A and B are shown apart, each in its own frame.
Chain A
Amino acid sequence: MSTLSSPSRPGRWFKPLIVFDVIAGLAMVTVTWAGLLHAGDAINLAGEEQTAQRIFYFHIGSNIAAFLGFLGSVVGSIGYLFSRRLVWDRWAAASVEIGTIFGILVLLSGSIWAKPAWNTYWTWDPRLTTATITVLIYIAYMLFRNGFDDAETRARFAGVYAIFAFLSVPLTYYSARLFRSIHPIVFDGANEEAQGGFAIGPTMGQTLTIAMIGFALLFFALLFHRVRQFDAEARIEALRERFDE
């Protein structure tokens, strides 16, 4: 029976994980330092907007982590449907859970920034729309998983849903973009309608790289822990089955 799920022994990864946690923690300290102190002011902004733009590092960082979660859900789902090994499904589920947290942080940080920059917390800009829809899909995915008792049925059905979500999200973006866009594209001045964009200096570029790496490390640290939990759960299941014998 344990061959069905074959979760690795959770203890094996304990020490490497602690090391990785410390690295991710230090990276996040560096992100905070760089975002608040190292990065220079934006030259074309003043007052509240000047302060608010620093949330941008946090915003983009969370966005990278949320995107990794999105990617993980699809890779895990396709991996499961091809290999039929539940370990893939656990990676998909963990990716979605961690990705949802960062997705919500993206929306919150964006709203906080948007109030001084756009004078509103919310607009139906394509990126906002897409991010919101993606978070809603994640939440639906988690609710959906809850309704199954059998691990394999859950993995199959959740996998099918994740693939449909993956197909629809880019289309959501394109259709929302056909409506309008006021979201600033920081590295590309092509969008003249964008409001709240700002010029970016060398220290800001460095900080951005640090933020992206830091958040990616944090994402993976959390992901590994969640997968380890899932593995432990599956292992307990398997042991209980053997005990019931």
Chain B
Amino acid sequence: MVADISGAELISHRAGGIAAYFRHVWAVAEKDIRAEMRSKEVVGTMAAFSVLSAVVFGLAFDLRVPRPELVVPGILWVIVLFAGVLGLHRSFGSEVDHGTLAGLLLAPVERSAIYMGKVVANLVYFLIVEALLVPALLILFDVNLLKPIVLLGLLLGTIGYVGVGTLFAALTSRNRARETLLPVLLLPVLAPLFIAGVGLTSVIVDGRAGSEAWPWLGIIGLYDALTFAAAFLLVDVVWENS
């Protein structure tokens, strides 16, 4: 066998800068999404859990709650919160289990680009699951959540959730008790998102004026801005000696 591994003439590097940063983000995201499309591990589990939970809530509240409008906003956000934890820990958990995290960290790529790539992939998973959950709630509870403001709140809330959740998934991936610990760390820190999400959804479900939803959207937006700013500053700390 002849091994000629030269071929240096085949190599040239692209310019760096901001365009390279976004290429890296997308490379990581696309890699995760492509693998997920084949395994369907994360989205499958999250979607099954979400729909099952909706059914379980339906059974639990059937005949006990006079109007489902009273509980559906809470049900929506509880399910998103719990289903999300299921998916998030795989984000870095699978890299750690397969020993591939080192491959990412050995690449000439900003840490925050790896983080953002994971955020994008997780966001896609969450939105797919929510696209199933909202119609499921419509069928099971006869409450229509397909309203622009609810969907906007859900999108912004999901962005904030994924932003914090992905960073915490990276934090717990090195911890001994990672699967069990992630929800314990995550849920109390997500309290503002949860309260604001339920508040916003209630405004619309109750048929109140849409303007009452703006303060809630403001809180969610502020949460997103603060947590992403903090995540960008702190993500290097997470992987600084690895």
Contact = CB atoms under 8 A, between A and B. Distances in A.
- Answer yes or no: A and B touching, Cβ < 8 Å: yes
Interface stretch (A14-22, A85-93, A162-170): A162-170
A152 B238 CA distance: 11
B44 interface: no
B174 A164 contact: no
Contact of A179 (B185, B195, B241): B195
Interface string A138-172: 01100110111000110011011101110110011
A174 B191 CA distance: 11
Which of B187, B192, B234 is the most central at the interface, judged by chain A CB atoms within 10 Å of its CB?
B192
B85 interface: no
B222 A140 contact: no
Contacts of A174: 192, 219
Nearest to A177: B195
Contacts of A108: none
Nearest to A163: B230
Interface in A172-209: 172, 174-176, 178-179
A105 interface: no
A163 B238 CA distance: 13
Range for the number of chain A residues in contact with chain B = 20 to 34
Given A143-B181, A147-B176, A156-B238, A164 B227 contact: yes
Interface string B82-103: 0000000000000000000000
Nearest to A148: B175
A175 B230 contact: no
Contacts of B181: 140, 143-144, 147
Contacts of B167: 160, 164
A136 interface: yes
B199 interface: yes
A144 B164 CA distance: 16
Contacts of A144: 171-172, 175, 181, 184-185
A185 to B, nearest CB: 21
Interface string B150-184: 00000000000000100110011011111001001
Given A164-B164, A171-B192, A172-B192, 17 more contacts: A139-B184, A140-B184, A143-B181, A143-B184, A144-B171, A147-B176, A147-B181, A153-B174, A156-B238, A164-B230, A168-B191, A171-B219, A172-B195, A174-B192, A176-B195, A178-B219, A179-B199
